[in-house]
Amino acid sequence: MKPSSCSVVAWLLPSLLVALVLSPPARAALPDHPAIRHAGAADWVEPAGSDDLPQAAGGTRGVAYLRLDDQVLVAGDASACFRDRLVEVTSQNGLNVASQWEIHFAPAFQRVVVHTVALRRDDVWYDRLASTEASVLHREDELGSKIYNEELTLLLVLSDVRVGDVVRIAYTLEGANPIFGGRSGGSFPLAWGVPVSRLDLRFTMAATTPFHFRVLGDAPPPEERVENGRREIRWHLEDLPDVDFEANAPDSWIRLPFVAATQFATWAEVAAWGSPLFAPEPLPAEVAAVAARIRTEHPDDPEARFLAASRWVQDEIRYFAMALGPHSHAPYDVDQIVRRRFGDCKDKTRLLLSLLAAVGIEAAPALVRTDLDVSEWLPTPLAFDHVVTVAEVAGREVWVDATLTHQGGASSDDLYFPDYHTALVLRPETTGLTGIGLEQTRPGITEVRYDYRVSEAGEPLEVRIASVYERDGAESMRRLLDGTSPEDLLESYVEYYSDGPRKVESLAPLEISDDRDANRLEVDESYRVVECWQPDEQRTTCNLLPLNLGSRLVEPQATDREAPLWLPEQLHIRETIAIQAATPWEFSPVDVAERNPWFAYTVTSKPAEQSIELVYELETLAAEVEPQAIRRYASSLKTLTDSVGYSLYTEEDDAEPADSEAQDMVYGIIGCAVILFVAVVGIGGLVGLVVLLRKRSPKTRSGPPASTADGVCPRCSATLDPGGRYCPRCGLDLRPVAKTGGTHPGLIVVAITAVLVFAVAMIGIVAAILIPNFIDALGKARQLRTVAELRSWSSGLDRYHKREGTYPDAESLEALAAILAAEAPADGWSMADTWKHPFVYRCWNETGGSGCDTFRIASPGTDGVLSDPSLESYETGS
């Protein structure tokens, strides 16, 4: 069931698309088709004329949209829509857009009347209908979604279109889907994703015709008038800027302003229209036998009968849609559905309703929308694109989608149902939309554990990954495994994990364990990471395999946006990294606690001498982020992205500031001790030199040696000549030697001065090294101690929030400490930082509810001054 195949609205939207021509087009004015003809516009149309050209409001994709004119005749089965398009080619890129046009229609109840195909060049208009190449194509673009319909496309290809030309296409679609009993409606945009110079939207009808409309989004009201028994509603808009389609907007966000129109006055009228279409029918023999077996196996258990009937339709009837004629919104007969063994949501729902009736379960069909929030829409069947079933089982309401497969659960408590938000239950007593309970739409938690074995740095790692999927996660994995072999799935996993420099090889086949009754599925993987260690200038690093939760939250591309940011609702993931090393390893602990209005994220670690275990947990708390909170959300998300995942290092990790500072301090002290030792040795050596110089031989008188007084040479005993200077035999120098009487006083002064200078220099060097390092280490130690105290406060606040559902609204830190007395550490709460400045605490509400859902606790720092006393601009904490 899809809204675009069942009303006038499906063919009212611009189709300025480049078509893929699947076969050679016929060269004729128009194809010979009973639903296509050439004629002038009907009398009810108010054409603007070709010469009424507005100035271009701007161009995109090489074209400027000068005029978009839609006029709708509301007249039951004779309803019609006139469309007139003027497009100017502004560059080469726009030639294809302006020269190829698609007109979509359903030949079973619609006719195409082509009025004008023209081109203006140099202020002269040329009729191009005769030279236009036209083909009728059967649309098969939805076959990939297992949907087949009879919708056709009239493709018009203009020849000889040039830059600067203006192209005009005007035509009317006549007829409406008879399934709605002469009542139609739809949505009509009042802006586009491109600039538009002029936009006109006009509804015309008899004054007595029921017609209701509502403008959704930022757009002006229309002009209305009633004349000569006719009612007219008109919008005339000029110079419309393009609308930015911001990515990741929630379903509730209205991207383009539009008019919702309908001929149904209430939701009760829509329910009364749709209920007869799904009336249960007698079952064919095969299905009647299934019903008898279910009743026999579960005579006193209505829940078991409900689950057995639902599972049979889900698994035995494959999904395929034949949306032909009235079956765009009406199901086929039950007998035909069973014979075909296929059907779409309408068909499978009707079969399930008939089977449930046969086993004694009361149920009804319900219309839902899978991609939009329609709670503000006017009553119309076109608000919905899907049909599900709601049943009364053992006194309570249970929802089931018959198009889902591989569902599990031994009870309805385990039966997952997608969160479609609201539904229109097709019962006689229905008066409005019904909210769908959150318990059934609760996704299951996904748990993944990574067990690493590390031999030594630089060597390959082995890892075993155990994944546990529950509820919708288990069902998705069953569907994946049903269409993919375990071998192919393992190959895709290996390719995914082998990212960048990291290379992974499989050690064993996948081990799959499926407990369908518990709706729980487990997958075990084993790998060897053969290339992981990457050296750089400081260390060698191994980045472990990526965690799933790191990519589950949407990161805004810009913090300045108009649309809210979509978040995956009720997401809950827990991932554990366990590392066991063969030898002692310095593992870096990681502990993070981030809680805000949008998600809760924690990391806890348990390091040991040869192992560490880290638990990462993420849970979303909201479905969207309001635009004014995007910046704060991005800051909170950075806490997650900066801490998710883990790496091993061969050197000390910079993430351990306390150990690094202590180590630097130790190295500094050792270095200074060596310098002092060298200084002491040097001073001692100089002092020793002075002493040595002072201990030279005592004073003696001048004269020859005492042994020469006898006239005999003291060396060879030869007789010496009186007064001779040398021995005549051995040549010994007999001149008297002058003996110094002590060290010169100047030398002593120089030596002492050198000693003092050296000592002073060494002391200065030691002081220059020790004192700044000591002061810096002391300051960093104070910072680390303050951070530890703030984390202690944050942990206590989070425990209080988990228990009470709000953060304490305390006027002072003393009051906060009293409130958190039960959460206080053994040595009590620290009221001030290490600079003796009191901590500052604030809390507030960001979601508009009661109580505090966000907090900040901060230290004024060394100067004792907070740049923002409100704490709201700080990026950390909460």
CA 81 to mean position of chain CA atoms: 41
Q: Which amino acid is at 75?
A: A
Q: Is residue 770 part of a domain?
A: yes
The secondary structure element, H or E, covering residue 127 is strand 124-127
Q: Are strands 36-38 and 111-121 parallel, antiparallel or unpaired?
A: parallel
Mean per-residue pLDDT, 265-273: 95
Mean per-residue pLDDT, 644-663: 60
Q: What pLDDT, on the 0 to 100 scale, is given for residue 153? A: 92
Kindly report the CATH number assigned to the domain that includes residue 395.
3.10.620.30
Q: Is residue 149 part of a domain?
A: yes
Same domain, 215 and 306: no
**Tens-digit pLDDT profile for residues 813-856:** 888 998 998 888 877 888 998 888 899 998 888 776 678 888 88
Q: Is residue 295 part of a domain?
A: yes
Cβ count near 284 (within 10 Å): 18
Among residues 177, 401, 379, the alpha carbon closest in space to that of 267 is found at 379
Q: What pLDDT, on the 0 to 100 scale, is given for residue 734? A: 59
Q: What pLDDT, on the 0 to 100 scale, is given for residue 657? A: 42
Same domain, 533 and 585: yes
Same domain, 419 and 453: no
Q: Are strands 196-206 and 63-74 parallel, antiparallel or unpaired?
A: parallel
Q: Is residue 50 part of a domain?
A: no
Q: What pLDDT, on the 0 to 100 scale, is given for residue 18? A: 31
Domain termination site, one of 616, 634, 649: 649
Count: domains in the chain:
5
Q: Find where tokens 């799959």 sit.
A: 512
**Tens-digit pLDDT profile for residues 505-548:** 999 999 999 999 999 999 999 999 998 888 877 788 888 988 88
| pLDDT at 147 > cutoff 80 | no
Dist CA 588 CA 751 (whole Å): 55
Domain that holds residue 352: 271-435
Retrieve residue 5's tokens: 């195949």
pLDDT band at 656 (very low <50, low <70, confident <90, very high): very low
Q: What pLDDT, on the 0 to 100 scale, is given for residue 768? A: 64
* Longest Cα–Cα distance in the chain: 169
Dist CA 79 CA 81 (whole Å): 7
Domain termination site, one of 228, 263, 298: 263
Residue ranges of E strands in 306-408: 318-319, 321-323, 342-343, 362-368, 386-393, 396-400
With beta carbons less than 8 A apart as the criterion, state whether 390 and 398 touch.
yes
Mean per-residue pLDDT, 667-694: 57
Same domain, 774 and 823: yes
Among residues 852, 849, 847, 844, the alpha carbon closest in space to that of 874 is found at 844
**Tens-digit pLDDT profile for residues 360-393:** 999 999 999 988 888 888 999 999 999 999 999 9
What single DSSP character describes residue 373?
-
Retrieve residue 750's tokens: 């120089």
3-state per-residue secondary structure call for 429-457: CCCCCEECCCCCCCCCCEEEEEEEEECCC
| pLDDT at 658 > cutoff 60 | no
Dist CA 736 CA 739 (whole Å): 9
Q: What angle do CA 495, 483, 474 make, to 5 degrees?
A: 85
Burial of 788 (0-12, 13-18, 19+ CB in 10 A): exposed
Contacts of 533 (CB under 8 A, 6+ apart): 457, 458, 540, 541, 542, 650
Taken in order 825, 828, 829, 832, the sign of the CA dihedral is negative
CA 335 to mean position of chain CA atoms: 45
Same domain, 763 and 636: no
Q: What pLDDT, on the 0 to 100 scale, is given for residue 402? A: 96
CA 642 to mean position of chain CA atoms: 15
Domain termination site, one of 205, 233, 263: 263
With beta carbons less than 8 A apart as the criterion, state whether 398 and 352 touch.
no
Phi and psi at residue 237, in whole multiples of 5°? -120, 145
Q: What is the pTM of this model?
A: 0.69
| pLDDT at 16 > cutoff 60 | no
Pick 247 or 659 by higher pLDDT: 247
3-class DSSP assignment, residue 849: coil
Phi and psi at residue 303, in whole multiples of 5°? -65, -40
**Tens-digit pLDDT profile for residues 584-612:** 988 888 999 999 999 999 999 999 989 99
Same domain, 74 and 12: yes
Retrieve residue 806's tokens: 């709000």
Kindly report the CATH number assigned to the domain that includes residue 150.
2.60.40.3140
**Tens-digit pLDDT profile for residues 105-131:** 989 899 999 999 999 999 899 999 999
Retrieve residue 331's tokens: 């199901």
Same domain, 161 and 191: yes
Q: Percent of the chain at pLDDT above 70?
A: 78
Same domain, 643 and 661: no
Same domain, 216 and 280: no
Pick 659 or 269 by higher pLDDT: 269
Mean per-residue pLDDT, 793-814: 84
Contacts of 189 (CB under 8 A, 6+ apart): 13, 256, 257, 258
Phi and psi at residue 750, in whole multiples of 5°? -60, -45
With beta carbons less than 8 A apart as the criterion, state whether 692 and 735 touch.
no
| pLDDT at 654 > cutoff 70 | no
Q: Percent of the chain at pLDDT above 90?
A: 47
Q: Which amino acid is at 155?
A: L
Q: What pLDDT, on the 0 to 100 scale, is given for residue 756? A: 64
pLDDT, averaged across the chain: 82
Contacts of 515 (CB under 8 A, 6+ apart): 408, 521
Q: Is residue 23 part of a domain?
A: yes
Same domain, 679 and 621: no
Considering 438-452, 647-661, 841-855, the range whose residues carry the highest mean pLDDT is: 438-452
Mean per-residue pLDDT, 323-350: 90
3-class DSSP assignment, residue 212: strand
**Tens-digit pLDDT profile for residues 35-84:** 999 999 999 999 886 666 777 666 567 888 999 999 999 998 899 999 99
The secondary structure element, H or E, covering residue 479 is helix 472-483
Dihedral of the alpha carbons of 625, 629, 635, 638, in degrees to the nearest 10 = 10
Q: Which amino acid is at 173?
A: L
Q: Is residue 839 part of a domain?
A: yes
Taken in order 409, 414, 418, 424, the sign of the CA dihedral is positive
3-class DSSP assignment, residue 199: strand
Same domain, 767 and 721: no
Same domain, 326 and 181: no
Q: Find where tokens 């009879």 sit.
A: 150
Dist CA 452 CA 437 (whole Å): 41
Alpha helix stretches (DSSP H) within 695-812: 745-804
Among residues 10, 4, 286, the alpha carbon closest in space to that of 145 is found at 4
Q: Is residue 554 part of a domain?
A: no
Q: Is residue 51 part of a domain?
A: no
Pick 839 or 789 by higher pLDDT: 839
